[in-house]
Amino acid sequence: MVTVEYTRDHFVVMLRKAGLAEVADEAERVLPDPVEDRRIAAFLVPYGITLDQLASRMGGTL
């Protein structure tokens, strides 16, 4: 499995664009920079969101 890293700011912007402002605020507080996709996936679990669902909200790509 290939690990992908994103900047925390990039991930926060994606969440805001997807209409998830409160989740974005929490991500900004708790996630490291950069952040691996696996850590992002784990972060999203309590919110009932998967990376695939987030990508879908973003038009298909993160």
Model confidence over 13-54: pLDDT tens digits? 999 999 999 999 999 999 999 999 999 999 999 999 999 999
In DSSP notation, the chain reads ----EE-HHHHHHHHHHTT-HHHHHHHHHH--SSEEHHHHHHHHGGGT--HHHHHHHTTS--
Q: Supply the pLDDT for residue 12.
A: 97
